[in-house]
Amino acid sequence: MTILIAALLVVLALTLLYHKLAYWAWTTPGAIALGWWWQAGGSGDVVRFTTVAIVFAVAAIGLGVPMVRRVLVSWWILRLVKPMLPRIGNTERIALEAGTVWWDGDLFSGDPNWRKLLDFKLKDLSPRERAFLDGPVEELCAMVKEWEVVQAGDLSPETWAFIKQNGFFGMIIPEKYGGLGFSAAAHSAVVVKLASRSVTAAVTVMVPNSLGPAELILHYGTDQQKQHYLPRLARGEDIPCFALTGPEAGSDAAATQSVGIVCRQTFRGEDVLGMRLTWRKRYITLGPVATVIGLAFRLRDPDGLLGGDEDLGITCALIPADCPGIDIGKRHDPMGVPFHVGPNTGDNVFVPLEYIIGGRETAGQGWKMLMESLAAGRSISLPALSVASAQVSTRLVGAYGTVREQFDTPIGRFEGIEEPLALIGGLTYIMNAARKLTAGAVDAGQRPSVPSAIVKAYLTESMRKVVNAAMDIRAGAAICRGPRNVLAHAYQAVPIGITVEGANILTRSMIIYGQGAIRCHPFVQDEMRAAAEGDVPTFDRAFFGHIGHVASNAARSLLLGLTRGRLMRAPVGGTVKSSFGEFTRMSAAFALVSDVAMGTLGGRLKRREKITGRLADALAWMYLGSATLKQFVDQGQPTRDLPLVQYGCAHALHEIQTALVGVLDNLPNRLAALALRPVIFPLGARYRPPNDRLGGAVARGLLEDREARLALTSDIYLPPPDEPGLGKLEMALDHAVAALTVETKIRDAVRAGLLDRAAGDVLVEQALEAGIITEEERQKVMDADEVRDEVIQVDAFDPDTFPCSRPSGTGGGWGG
């Protein structure tokens, strides 16, 4: 009976912890259980029972009454903990305070509110935005052919004019300043469609609408700056670039050696208070053609002309590109993709203080501007470009797997091809779901700094996997460049997406978890701030709230681990009901492992980048998995997409598990890791990657289900059917599908012994002579074979024109 009561009390305690009632979980059942145990062991010794009860009562008062606890416990803990906490510099503090906490906070809590996510409505495109996509964007896509752009080394003058005249540079600029005033969702959709046609055109358009002068002026500029620059930027009269990266300051942009000295000097005939600027920048997109430079630099006032500190900090200013002392116009060659990017330098360039974005009052606030802008800006451009490459790959290999035959069988039927096909389809579904969700958050007024870093890093990494898999399927046809090969340009652009706007290695190992652990955690930021300020009441609330948080997540992780998440009530029914419980289980496990890592490593965790990288993996795949579930539910749980969402969830859960196992295997405190493992994985690490059956279902959907394939790739530009590459491949697919029933009829006749085995054309003629097929059916097969033969060809060049096809400057213009 004693064992039974003890077991029931343990279950009661775990249940209370699961519901975050940590105080009652540990005091009431704990006191009764220990008292009962002591009494049972002491043959009814009332004194012992009373003693134990008093001890627990005193402990409950000491820990449960805040005023007493602050004096007896919290003050001492604060003194002990303060030296262990990481020191946060000013630049790190600004980065941490930039942006907002959104769904990432729920995932970090260990108990995400799924109803909150599912009730969040994504903004639909307006009729004006839809008309722009169907009109000017389609026209621009029809104007550019990436192979020709690469050969010329630039977009044509007609294309540049079209981009400017139709407001592509002003998508984020409000209509009152002459811009289009589009939503983040529309901005993202435009980049997806453009990037599916031309990476060069997409980068040219997306950079002025991302982190740059327009974004900074819009949020921080003076009225005079807005009135002057925004209409000119929207019309394309001014071409902007933003000069942040330099030889000495790449990922650590705050370490810039670009400097401005406050001084008085003559400017345009007048003596003015201004800045003398010196800088060296590189990798500046649109720099070679820019007319106005957004410049980040450290501003100093050695003579005290502004009456404040000598080092004012990072500052952002707008510098006309024709100012004396500026050297600009040279170009880098980014993997043979000929968008304009290059270095620029300034040597003693003098401009008035009014050129600072926001005026002289915002001197030294540039780092804050950049961090707040990046919190939203990373959500759009590169995720959209990644999705474009993934959707093009999906559309291409889905058709190619049916049209291309080997051993008289479409290659998509081979299991060796099924595997990369499934990866392509599954990741494309996940990527688009995350793209739309994050853009929707920006439209809702969020500045989702952690989710934006997640989609930048993990969508570009997924792009690499998808494009590589598509290259493997296309094989020889994928490695021969030319008008027929649309994959080559995406393949060349992959390293660019992975590198810019924060290299993925840094983003994964330092930004996602480094910011998330402090920003998204419900207690850590308050603990750090209170400890630094010696604020005992605030520290007390945060610290003991944190203790209860850890206990609740330990109980939740154990109970959901034992039940595979079934204990949690799902927010919806249907085929993915159980997945919500499994992601909640992983959220609790992640939160617990994260707290133990922070607790055992303290400030050293900041330098254990392999561990923080794995924790970032877990957080990122929780976000991507939850986006996958939301998209499926939002679309009414269509049966056609079920294999895709099941593949996405299985892939995400396995990635999360792999990341957490990696943390436990490498946590320096082996005792903590040993204690955690049975709580996190009470039945073992049992999540597996998508199995062959599920992968086969995804692959068949791409090959056989036209509706599913079109839905998965609906955001890209579809070339006309007479254009080499994707256009002709789509036409070939239509012919192949039309001939499929006829070819099946002929194969069945061979198996039945009605026809002898023979080469393709001969066999078709025999089938016609034997009356197995009609003349009309014969023509369908012949048409399909003719088109099939055309689309499997690769480009070849005459010797005198061949050098122009090379990716570097050996002929055919810059980059051609």
**Catalytic sites, residue numbers:** 501
Which conformational region is residue 293 in: left (phi greater than 0), alpha (psi within -120 to 50 degrees), or beta? beta
Say which DSSP state 353 is in: G
CA distances, 242 to each of 339, 420, 537, 551 (Å)? 15, 39, 45, 47
SS3 content of the chain, % helix, strand, coil (to 5): 65, 10, 25
Choose among 404, 396, 458: nearest CA to 421.
396
CA–CA–CA angle 670, 676, 680 (5° rounding): 140
Q: What residues contact residue 787 under an 8 Å CB cut-off, 6+ apart?
A: 728, 731, 732, 735, 736
- Measured distance CA(626)–CA(570) in Å, rounded: 13
Instruction: Give the 3-state DSSP-derived string for 382-429, with helices as H, strands as E and coil as C.
Output: HHHHHHHHHHHHHHHHHHHHHHCEECCEEHHHCHHHHHHHHHHHHHHH
**Collapsed DSSP state (helix, strand, coil) of residue 225:** helix
Q: 209-239: string of b/e by CB count within 10 Å (b at 16+)?
A: bbbbbbbbbbebbbeebbeebbbbbbbbebb
What is the phi/psi pair of residue 280, to 5°? -135, 120
**89: which 2 tokens?**
């510099």
Q: What residues contact residue 698 under an 8 Å CB cut-off, 6+ apart?
A: 421, 422, 425, 426, 643, 644, 647, 690
The helix (run of H) or strand (run of E) holding residue 294 is strand 292-300
Choose among 30, 103, 153, 718: nearest CA to 444.
103
**Collapsed DSSP state (helix, strand, coil) of residue 252:** coil
How does strand 341-352 pair with strand 270-285? antiparallel
Q: What residues contact residue 262 under an 8 Å CB cut-off, 6+ apart?
A: 273, 274, 275, 299, 300, 301, 302, 303, 305, 306, 312, 353
What is the phi/psi pair of residue 174, to 5°? -60, 155
Task: Please name the residue that has the structure tokens 């942006």.
Answer: 99
- Measured distance CA(360)–CA(315) in Å, rounded: 10
Helices 381-403 and 449-474: angle between axes, nearest 10 degrees? 20
**131: which 2 tokens?**
């008309």
- Measured distance CA(592)–CA(109) in Å, rounded: 9
Cα of first residue to Cα of last residue in the chain, in angstroms, is 84
- Measured distance CA(356)–CA(319) in Å, rounded: 9
CA distances, 201 to each of 147, 253, 545, 601 (Å)? 12, 27, 51, 47
